[in-house]
Amino acid sequence: MEQTQFLRNLIIETPSSPGNFAKVATAIGQLEGDMGDIQTIKIGTLSTIRDISIQCRNEEHFLQIVDAVNDLDKNIIVRAVTDDVLQAHEGGKIHMKGRMEIRSLGDLQRVYTPGVANVCELIKKDPEQANYFTGISNTVAIVTDGTAILGLGNIGPVAGMPVMEGKAVLFDQFAGISGIPILLDTSDVDEVVNTVKNIYKGFGGILLEDIGSPHCFEIEARLKAELPIPVMHDDQHGTAVVTLASVISACKQAGVKIEDSVVGQIGLGAAGLAISRMLLAYGVKEVRGVDMDEAARTRLVKHGGTVVGSVEELMSTVDIVVATTGVAGLIKPEMVRKGQIILALSNPHAEIKPSDALKAGAAFAADGRQVNNILGFPGIFRGALSARAKEITYPMLIAAALAIVESTKPGDLVPHPLDPNVHENVASAVERVALQ
């Protein structure tokens, strides 16, 4: 699941002898820093300089890591702290660009006036021709009201724009789709629905993004019912697709039959409810859920699940556990039953650490670092747009999840998110089902 993280880069100089970088890595790991990209900037006779990307909880946590590295050895030196994240966002991450160059008067006449009038007249007579002679059929609106931005909460649509731009970049790179951010300065359900209905003709699909619960449920339901193009709330169904794939992979590795299992869902917000519905649609015999919010519990029952009274009760009665609460340490080791599969998906701090769950007897355990929506939404929309689907259905979403499983290497929970093959496989699977 997507959550906010504190990202910084350390420029570190170490002696050019074996074991020194291992000291740095150990110091970072002992403080629960998560190393990402490591680039060697310079290899010298006496020292080596590396650029190390680190994910932390917050600035205080990062400074603790810096101090720990500096305290290792007088010859191990933190040369600089950089912020590649902010640098990457300077000027924004997307740019609308024409697909044709205008180098002559003839080019201008074909692309614009007077030639373009012929195309307009053609589309006027047959609106379906817009699918061939405009970019509408390959364009998705990325719509947000800014009420549930990553793990930051309700920070407003403008503050959420970097996320929307990120989605647009991923659409382009992995699916060849033009994603256009739409920032709405309202969270009123009627206003959101009417606004999207008034602009939808310029798009082949609608991706609802970072819209909070509970109004996200009504917004999506109404738009799906009232628009003739695919609509999907990624925080619900994108998350649910990748989670279903993760559960299937975990069951394979643990030797558990998912169809005979009872699944427990801890947390019934947008993601939790969607995961529950996806599992039931796939064929899980029973999903039991727990949440403090009465309306959330009611929604689960409405969609075919059952409600239990506490996390302890749920943990004692289910075979597979999925947690999406955002509450670190919610699942205590003593709650774990021997042989359970546990996916504690809150990120960066899981409801229980996988190592603790395994030590307590779980057959399989993972956290949310790998369960990333990027594995789903680009291919799902690519398949839907290619098939000219009018909606995104559960059979299409299940096909996407199974394609993710089939693209997963042995021993992995899900594929690497940057593997282009998984996005092609998801798109093909969704398109096949949509065309049926």
CB-based contact 206:177 (threshold 8 Å): no
112 is catalytic: yes
- 42, 112, 124, 359: the active-site residue: 112
- 167, 200, 282, 353: the active-site residue: 167
Residue 121 CB neighbours (<10 A): 9
Helices (DSSP H) in 149-226: which residue ranges?
Answer: 161-175, 189-199, 215-226
- Dig out the tokens for 306 from the structure: 């059952």
382-400 per-residue burial string, b: 16 or more CB within 10 A, e: under 16? bbbbbbebebbbeebbbbb
Rg (CA), the chain: 24
Distance from CA of residue 350 to its chain's centroid? 16
Residue 68 CB neighbours (<10 A): 16
Distance, CA of 179 to CA of 188 (rounded, Å): 24
Q: How many CA atoms lie within 13 A of 395 on its CB side?
A: 8
Residue 116 CB neighbours (<10 A): 13
394 is catalytic: no
Handedness of CA 350, 356, 357, 358 (dihedral sign): positive
Q: Across 204-362, where does the E strand assignment appear?
A: 205-208, 231-233, 262-266, 286-290, 306-307, 320-323, 341-344
Using the structure block, give the residue that is written with the tokens 């931005």: 149
Order of strands, edge to edge, in the sheet holding 205-208? Answer: 178-183, 139-144, 205-208, 231-233
Distance, CA of 60 to CA of 62 (rounded, Å): 5
Active site members: 112, 167
